[in-house]
Amino acid sequence: MSAGTADLLEARDLARSYTVRRGLLGRPTAVRAVDGISLRVARGETLGLVGESGCGKSTTARLVLGIEPPDTGSVIFDGNAMPPSGTAAWANLRRRMQMVYQDPLAALDRRLAVGVQIAEPLDIHRIGTAAEREERVAAVMAEVGLQPHHVARHPQSLSGGQRQRAVIARALVTNPDLLVCDEPISALDVSIQALVLNLLSDLQERLKMGMLFVSHDLRAVRQISQRVAVMYLGRIVEEGDPDAVLHEPAHPYTQALVSAIPHPGKTTSRVILQGDPPNPANRPTGCAFHPRCPVATATCRTETPELKPRRSDGRRVACHIAHGEAAAARAPALLETC
């Protein structure tokens, strides 16, 4: 945190559950999608958010943007608490915070041409004249690698990657202060990925844009973020410098994750996680990861580890073993670095 200025975004202790009912008469059960997350994003900084599928990343993204109200916890944007969704203050904030959706097809209105949809934030926040808007849209589209003739296309007649770029363009068109990207590049080929990642870093530098970058692509995360947080079952289990986290993962889950990164042209050995995948409707006691953890001990089964800086190098991690509070049950699997 730079001295004097508050963080752009600060989330404290966010939690969110969904009720699901099985059948008409089924008993409602709570699914804890996010279970106590705190994070900060400074101006000009990118926080990468990685983690297992279904661990609550998209939900976190929605919560920090105030699209959904958290059950508990609070979001502070630019020093002020997030106004309730739907209010004028909330709506005004939107020009400063934007989101790139995970599923672009669903996030686009199939009745409107993409050009119109990209221009929409400008229309909504009455930015510029009609001509300026048109110009701006053309510029953004070019920046994300869309061609001028795509302006009049409807979402369903675009390819997956083109749609994704349309969503990115829409999010960038207002030059937001905060950008939350939920899998922004998953459908892009590497060349366009490069284009988009370069674009994002440029904007970040130029506009001091803060970014929450949710992705499964650890290369991209490393490329773009200053810090990375690893989530597991609704909580952050490790946070730190991307290189450090990716090369010397402290948490056993991170270790498994890093080992699974595929490398073009090589076939590598990796840690395949054993045991059942985690179920947010039925959270294990103690450390949520312990049923699948190769090094879990008795403590892990009963005591929930806290996310705190490790004494050795100050890495924030939530693991009894990493903190040396418990001895590993077995020697950790050999992790090769690359």
Partner 1 sequence: MAFVEIRNLSVAFGRSPALRGINLAVERGEAVGLVGESGCGKSVTWLAALGLLPASATVRGSVLIDGTEILGAPKARLEPVRGGRIAMIFQDPAASLNPVHRIGRQIGEALGLHRGMTGQRAKAEVIRLLDQVGIPDAKNRINAYPHELSGGQNQRVMIAMALAGEPELLVADEPTTALDVTIQAQILDLLTTLRRDTGMALVLISHDLGVVSETCSRIAVMYAGRIVEEAPSGQIFTHPNHPYTRGLMGALPPLSGARRRLVAIPGSVPEAAHMPQGCAFAPRCNAATDRCAEVDPVPLPLTQDHSAACIHARPYHQAGHPSHHHAATTRERAMQ
Partner 2 sequence: MLHYLLSRLLRAAVSIIMVVTFVFVVLRMSGDPAMVIMGADAPPEAIDAFRKSWGLDQPLWVQYFSFFEAIFSGELGRSMRDGRDAMAVVLERVPSTLALTVPAFLVNLIVGVPAGVYAALHRNSLIDRCVMVMAVTGFAVPSFILAMLLVLILSVNLGWLPSAGQDSWLNAILPIATMGFGGAALLARFTRSAMLEVLGQPYIRTASAKGLPWSAVVWRHALQNAAIPTITIIGFMLGGLVAGAVVVESVFSWPGVGRLLVISVANRDLAIVQAIVLMIAITMVAANMIVDVLYGLVDPRMHGQARPARR
Partner 3 sequence: MARLRSLLERLNRMPILITIAVLWLVLMLAIAVSADLISPYRFTQMDLRNRLSLPVFMGGSWSHVLGTDELGRDVLSRLITSIRMSLLIAFGATIIGAVIGVTLGFVAAHFRGIVEQAVLALVDFSAAIPFLVLALAVLAFFGNSLVLFVCLLGFHAWERYARIARGLAISGRMHGYAAAVHQLGASPWRLYGRHILPNIASTLIVSMTLAFPEIILLESGLSFLGLGIQPPGTSLGNMVGFGREYLSSAPWIMLAPAFVITATALCVSLLGDWLRDRLDPTLS
**81-120: contacts with ligand ATP (CB under 6 A):** 102
Answer with the entry of partner 1, ligand ATP, Mg ion, none that 7 interacts with (C-beta below 5 to 8 A by kind): none
Nearest to 236 by CA among 305, 326, 332: 305
Q: Does 159 bind Mg ion (CB under 5 A)?
A: yes
Q: Does 98 bind partner 3 (CB under 8 A)?
A: yes
Q: Does 282 bind ligand ATP (CB under 6 A)?
A: no
**CA distance linking residue 338 with residue 263, whole number of Å:** 9
Helix (H) or strand (E) holding 123: helix 114-124
Q: For the chain, what percentages of helix, strand and coil (3-state, to nearest 5) are there?
A: 35, 20, 45
- CB 208, min distance to partner 2, A: 34
Tokens standing for residue 323: 């903190």
- Closer residue to ligand ATP, CB minimum distance, 102 or 225: 102
- CB 157, min distance to partner 1, A: 7
**CA distance linking residue 145 with residue 310, whole number of Å:** 43
Tokens standing for residue 314: 């100050």
Choice from 23, 28, 126, 159 touching ligand ATP (CB under 6 A): 159
> CB under 8 Å to 46, separation ≥6 — which residues?
200, 204, 210, 211, 212, 213, 224, 225, 226, 227
Phi-psi region of 150 (alpha: psi -120 to 50; beta: other; left: phi over 0): alpha
Span 219-258, contacts to ligand ATP by CB under 6 A = none
- C-alpha R_g of the chain: 21
Q: At what angle do helices 190-207 and 160-172 cross, to 10 degrees?
A: 0
Q: Does 281 bind partner 2 (CB under 8 A)?
A: no
Q: Does 241 bind partner 2 (CB under 8 A)?
A: no
**CA distance linking residue 169 with residue 113, whole number of Å:** 14
Q: Does 28 bind partner 2 (CB under 8 A)?
A: yes
**CA distance linking residue 172 with residue 190, whole number of Å:** 20
Give 32's strand partners: 17
Q: Does 16 bind partner 2 (CB under 8 A)?
A: yes
Choice from 6, 12, 18, 291 touching partner 2 (CB under 8 A): 18
Choice from 89, 130, 152, 260 touching partner 1 (CB under 8 A): 260
Number of residues binding to ligand ATP, judged by CB under 6 A: 20
Site string for partner 3, 37-66 (x = CB under 8 A): ----------------------------x-
- DSSP-derived secondary structure letter, 270: -
Site string for partner 2, 88-107 (x = CB under 8 A): -----------------x--
Choice from 3, 53, 269, 282 touching ligand ATP (CB under 6 A): 53
Choice from 66, 280, 286, 305 touching ligand ATP (CB under 6 A): 280
Phi, psi of 310 (to 5 degrees): -75, 145
Q: Which long-range contacts (CB under 8 A, 24 or more apart) does 1-4 make?
A: 1/40, 1/42, 2/42, 2/43
How many angstroms separate the Cα of 165 from the Cα of each of 67, 214, 222?
22, 16, 21
Site string for Mg ion, 96-125 (x = CB under 5 A): ------x-----------------------
Site string for ligand ATP, 56-75 (x = CB under 6 A): xxxx----------------
Residues that bind partner 3 (CB under 8 A): 65, 67, 86, 90-95, 98-99, 101, 103, 106-112, 120-121, 123-125, 154, 156, 170
Residues that bind ligand ATP (CB under 6 A): 18, 20, 31, 33, 53-59, 102, 157-162, 187, 280
